[in-house]
Amino acid sequence: MEAYTALRQFADSWGLLYMTIFFVGAVIFAFRPGSKKSAEEAARIPLKDD
């Protein structure tokens, strides 16, 4: 059970920090300047006919 306790403590501290940094990075990436055009193009992909 020692490994479980160590992993649990790691997830409680550094895991939360990692997930928070990842979330903030994803939000910044999604709302970066100039991303609207590429997002609109990606949204139209399922509607394109070959």
Q: Is 12 helix (H, G, I), strand (E, B) or coil?
A: helix
pLDDT in tens, 5-25: 988 888 888 988 999 999 999
What b/e sequence results for 29-41 when a residue is b if at least 16 CB atoms lie within 10 Å of its CB, and e otherwise? Answer: eeeeeeeeeeeee
Asked whether the predicted pLDDT for residue 38 surpasses 90, the reply is no
Classify residue 32 by its DSSP letter. S
Question: What single letter denotes the amino acid at residue 48?
Answer: K
Q: Can you tell me the distance from the alpha carbon of 50 to that of 39, in angstroms, rounded to the nearest whole number? A: 20
7, exposed or middle or buried, with CB in 10 Å at 0-12, 13-18, 19+?
exposed
Mean pLDDT of 32-36: 87
Residue-level pLDDT at 20? 93
- The full set of domain ranges for the chain reads 2-47
